[in-house]
Structure 1
Amino acid sequence: MKTLVVEPSKTYRLLLNEFLHGFAIDPQEVIDGTSAIANAHENKYDLICIAMHLPDMQGVELAKKIKGMQGFENSIVIIFSSETNQDKLAKMKTAQVNYICQKMSLDKLKTLFAHLTQDELIAYDGTGHILFIEDHLTQAKVTMAMLAEMGLTFEHFTSAEAGLEAFENHDYDLVLLDIVLAGKKDGVDFIEEVRARQDNKMFTPILAISASLNDSQRIHALKVGASDFINKPFIQAELAARLNNMLLTQRLYQQVTLQKQALEQMAMTDQLTGLYNRHFLVPYIKKALSSAQRYNNPLSIVMIDLDKFKCINDELGHGAGDKLLCDIAKLLKDNCRNEDAAIRLGGDEFLLVLPHCSLEQTKFKTETLRQAITELPSSNRQISASFGLSSTEQNNFDFEALFSMADAAAYQAKMRGGNDISY
């Protein structure tokens, strides 16, 4: 299912990408409506996932434009919104929008994608890329003809050494491996090296083949990690059945793994702002502080507390308050390096974790943020925040202590009238 994702949030694009991969969907991604329209002129998409709020237009407007293009009449359009009110979500539905989904409603998303992709989930589609290792050339030619007739692509090697090199440098869906091979390494050596890896390639299914092994040798091959075993000579129907079962099992395993990763990522993300949340903070800060201490690198944290946020909610409504929180979140993300972490602690409180950043560097960075927050557009109300800083440069690598110092400093800044930085 060819899919286009139109989403300005980098975090949610990552989450949605992982979620879609769990359903064997590899999406194309853009960040605004203009790019989506340009992309749609070049490609035909079966499924289009659009954020409700885009930098240059509303999601519903984009849906109308794309569905009006030739060839997109039957495309499925899903609008994603952070809105939690079901009545408001229902009002977003138009003739051009097939589904409206709340961004973090995981159960509904899972049900929807399972429905849209049910054929792909339950049926092996006859495709796959095979690493084939066989040193008997006559048998290899017969087997390769079978693989080609089954619609599978493959690369053939005659030794375990050459096969291992190819396995290291390329991705394969399955390995078809003769156990008895000429050279210093045989098929069992190949299996042991693959299963000893520390990456996802260690789970690649391996179908072992041989004409000369006894029962104990076949059992040994299975014990060291072969997924299945087939005796030579074999007929195409048996080979096809075993390959189909193994490839389908591998696909389902990958889907479950990706779905698990996506759910874990979503559990660590704040639903409103797309920033990381406290669930992410605990394991992240432990590793970050350990690395800072080990390599003697500075790490700083910045506590951010919006000034008079309750007044904004009371005077302008919670919708305006939510928009402000999202604007602050975007500002923080835009000013973060790849190694930094921006976290919403809850309510109007945020935290920045800045590895490899001294207190002096953090002061400069925080002043830039303080000024930028005051320049955010608002309805006749000055927006500002109070900032509290702490750093490991005092040889303190205990997070609770660092957090308390930053929290106390932010309180001091607020007591001085807000819109201030303390450390």
Structure 2
Amino acid sequence: MAGATDIFCKKDLLEFNTYLQRHVDRENRQLSGRVLVVEDSRVLQAIMLDLLTDMGLDVDAYTHAEEAWDSFQTGNYDLVITDIMLEGLMSGIALVRKIRRFQGEHGNLPIIATSGFDNISRKIELFHLGVNDYIAKPIVREELRQRVFNNITSYQNTLELRAQQKSLYSLSMLDELTKLFNRHALREFSGKYFSEAIRYKRPLTLAVLDIDFFKKINETMGYEKGDQVLAELGAWLKRFVGEGDMVTRWASEEFVFLLPDCSQSTAIAFMERLQKRLKQFKPASVSITTSIGVATMEIDTKHSLNSLFELADDAMYRAKMSGRNCVKPYQQTEE
């Protein structure tokens, strides 16, 4: 019984057949990805190439770490397999150090180290350097296969998870209907606008735009038509604002603009031009007008998002009270 890993009853052929099928499936598992191999033994390198390509992987193989490092910087790899003792000026240990110091996502890709010296102190040293796995020579094909499979699938699963998290984060920042940034995004990103305005002594303007009589559009044309108006208006506003400006959907028919390095007079002219163009645009073939309030944090003043928004919001309501379809700046005399 020495060396046996499983025991089966002769009468239970179904269980034995299932076991064999699982073994075959495990042997035939295919991967997609790219592997960087650094091995100065041509014989061992050929064995690795044969195994890795049989697993469905693309392989770049080198005998010197210097060549491998050049390839790593321009390649898009999922795994590095490197011998520790290599010919040339750069050792495998030096290559591992360079990879782990590399800026960006690829600096974290898995590394399998190989060595003919199988001792505990060497393994500990390599793990401290940042290798993910270690294989002692002579290399066993099945061990290499399994370690490659485990490291690549783990790395690719991690990348996929991060991409999903990034996508979810982006979705949490976007208004589903207009595809503009939402209120949460404005609160998240506005801090940078305010800190840079204060640091570089530049004006920062916040504008609040409200669609006039939007409730009437919903009541007379239907909520679906109202949604079409908002969706097309959102896409149009995104095209209209300049690079570096931020436009968000704050509420149902209310939009907020952050305009860096923009004085009050410049912001008023910009918003009046927006109103003029909007009359020609007619989102969803509906003629709309807007009331806009503008408030500016001048060089010698300090505001938060909330305080500047309140000023612009007050100015917007003054535009409503002035007959709508106009732009009004905040004025202290109105308090």
Query: Is TM (by shorter chain) over 0.5?
Result: yes
- 1:419 Cα offset (Å): 1.0
The question of whether the paired residues in 1 share the 8 Å contact of 2:203 and 2:299 is answered with no
* Change beyond 3 A, Cα 1:158–1:359: farther
- 1:343 Cα offset (Å): 0.7
- 1:297 Cα offset (Å): 4.4
1:175 aligns with 2:80: yes
- 1:349 Cα offset (Å): 0.7
Consecutive unaligned residues of structure 1, counting only runs of 5 or more, are 1-122
- 1:211 Cα offset (Å): 1.0
- 1:363 Cα offset (Å): 2.9
In the alignment, which residue of structure 2 is the partner of 1:225?
Answer: 130
Residue among 29, 43, 52 paired with 1:147 = 52
- SS in structure 1 opposite 2:224? helix
AA in 2 matched with 1:157: Y
The question of whether the paired residues in 2 share the 8 Å contact of 1:389 and 1:409 is answered with yes
In the alignment, which residue of structure 2 is the partner of 1:317?
Answer: 222
The question of whether the paired residues in 2 share the 8 Å contact of 1:124 and 1:248 is answered with no
Report Cα offsets for 1:165-198 as digits up to 9, x if no partner: 3222221111111122345543333333333444
- 1:260 Cα offset (Å): 1.0
AA in 2 matched with 1:368: R
In the alignment, which residue of structure 2 is the partner of 1:251?
Answer: 156
- 1:129 Cα offset (Å): 0.9
- Paired with 1:314 and 1:234, the residues of 2 have a C-alpha distance of 75
* Change beyond 3 A, Cα 1:278–1:381: closer
Report Cα offsets for 1:226-253 as digits up to 9, x if no partner: 1111112213332222111211112211
Report Cα offsets for 1:265-289 as digits up to 9, x if no partner: 1111112211111111112111222
The question of whether the paired residues in 2 share the 8 Å contact of 1:386 and 1:410 is answered with yes
Q: How does 1:390-405 map to 2 (within 5 A)?
A: 390-395=295-300, 396-405=302-311
* Change beyond 3 A, Cα 1:191–1:282: farther
1:284 aligns with 2:189: yes
Structure with max Cα Rg:
2
- Paired with 1:380 and 1:195, the residues of 2 have a C-alpha distance of 57
- SS in structure 1 opposite 2:206? strand
Report Cα offsets for 1:117-173 as digits up to 9, x if no partner: xxxxxx964221111222344433433333334332222334444433322222111
The question of whether the paired residues in 2 share the 8 Å contact of 1:313 and 1:321 is answered with yes
In the alignment, which residue of structure 1 is the partner of 2:206?
Answer: 301
Q: How does 1:85-164 map to 2 (within 5 A)?
A: 125-164=30-69
Residue among 269, 272, 280 paired with 1:375 = 280
- Paired with 1:269 and 1:333, the residues of 2 have a C-alpha distance of 12
TM-score (norm: length of structure 2)? 0.80
- Paired with 1:420 and 1:160, the residues of 2 have a C-alpha distance of 68
In the alignment, which residue of structure 2 is the partner of 1:328?
Answer: 233
- Paired with 2:205 and 2:268, the residues of 1 have a C-alpha distance of 10
| Between 301-310 and 349-358, the greater mean CA deviation after superposition | 349-358
* Change beyond 3 A, Cα 1:127–1:373: same
- 1:350 Cα offset (Å): 0.5
1:216 aligns with 2:124: no
- Paired with 1:380 and 1:199, the residues of 2 have a C-alpha distance of 47
* Change beyond 3 A, Cα 1:171–1:338: farther
In the alignment, which residue of structure 2 is the partner of 1:406?
Answer: 312
Structure 1 vs Structure 2 CA RMSD: 2.6
- Paired with 2:72 and 2:128, the residues of 1 have a C-alpha distance of 21
- Paired with 1:373 and 1:124, the residues of 2 have a C-alpha distance of 58
- Paired with 1:153 and 1:172, the residues of 2 have a C-alpha distance of 9
- Paired with 1:388 and 1:327, the residues of 2 have a C-alpha distance of 22
Identity percentage over the alignment?
A: 31
- Paired with 2:284 and 2:88, the residues of 1 have a C-alpha distance of 77
AA in 2 matched with 1:285: S
1:190 aligns with 2:95: yes
Report Cα offsets for 1:13-41 as digits up to 9, x if no partner: xxxxxxxxxxxxxxxxxxxxxxxxxxxxx
- SS in structure 2 opposite 1:346? coil
AA in 2 matched with 1:400: N
In the alignment, which residue of structure 2 is the partner of 1:275?
Answer: 180
TM-score (norm: length of structure 1)? 0.65
- Paired with 1:124 and 1:305, the residues of 2 have a C-alpha distance of 58
AA in 2 matched with 1:411: Y
* Change beyond 3 A, Cα 1:356–1:145: farther
In the alignment, which residue of structure 2 is the partner of 1:417?
Answer: 323
